[in-house]
């Protein structure tokens, strides 16, 4: 599938089948994330894969949505702040690098007809505690992963003329 069609196919899934997810598919998705670009090739990402019901249940205090907890797999994408590149003005690129890896992950999942949903609104301190993360590793995003039971509905995008400017910004 070409990249544009794959991007159009991917959507945020909030209803998952109870069908278990094959280990080889999880590895393939994580392998795609591993090949994402990162600032200075520092690759500051860490992925925590939660499959056990008891492990996933601990995330209730992090993001309390039943549909999220019902997914066969939940992946926590984290940033190792000791490895992320910092620009001279102090801008840190770790979250951007993790976002790029998550995008690779979600597209790889879509290619395998699996569903994902980017979760950025979660209890940060609670996530660090539940995942037992050291001080220098921060959770950036979560995604449930599994076979979707819902389908794409009304995926809207702005017209290209609203977001692209040539040579300089103008309105």
Model confidence at 101, pLDDT cuts 50, 70, 90, reads: very high
Give the pLDDT confidence of 109-167 residue by residue, as tens digits.
999 999 999 999 999 999 999 999 999 999 999 999 999 997 777 678 899 999 999 99
- Residue ranges of domains in the chain, CATH in brackets: 3-163 (3.40.109.10)
pTM value surpassing 0.85 = yes
Cα dihedral value 103, 105, 110, 114, nearest 10: -140
Counting other chains too, the contacts that 122-129 makes at CB distance below 8 Å and 24 or more residues apart are 122/62, 122/63, 123/61, 123/62, 123/63, 126/61, 126/62, 127/59, 127/62, 127/76
Longest dimension (CA), the chain: 53
Instruction: Pull the structure tokens for residue 161.
Output: 């003329």
Contacts of 42 (CB under 8 A, 6+ apart): 83, 84, 85, 97
pLDDT in tens, 14-52: 999 989 999 999 999 999 999 999 999 999 999 999 999
């Amino acid at each position: 599938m070409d990249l544009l069609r794959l991007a159009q196919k991917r959507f945020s899934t909030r209803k998952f089948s109870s069908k278990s997810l094959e280990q080889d598919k999880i590895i393939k998705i994580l392998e795609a994330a591993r090949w994402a670009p990162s600032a200075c090739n520092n690759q500051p990402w860490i992925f925590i894969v939660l499959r056990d019901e008891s492990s996933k249940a601990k995330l209730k205090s992090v993001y309390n949505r039943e549909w999220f907890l019902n997914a066969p797999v939940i992946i926590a994408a984290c940033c190792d702040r000791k490895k992320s590149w910092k620009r001279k003005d102090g801008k840190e690129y770790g979250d951007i690098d993790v976002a790029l890896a998550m995008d690779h992950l979600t597209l790889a999942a879509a290619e395998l007809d699996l569903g994902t949903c980017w979760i950025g609104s979660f209890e940060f301190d609670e996530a660090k505690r539940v995942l037992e993360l050291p001080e220098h590793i921060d959770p950036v995003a979560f995604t449930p992963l599994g076979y979707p039971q819902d389908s794409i509905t009304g995926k809207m995008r702005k017209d290209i003329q609203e977001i692209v400017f040539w040579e300089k910004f103008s309105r």
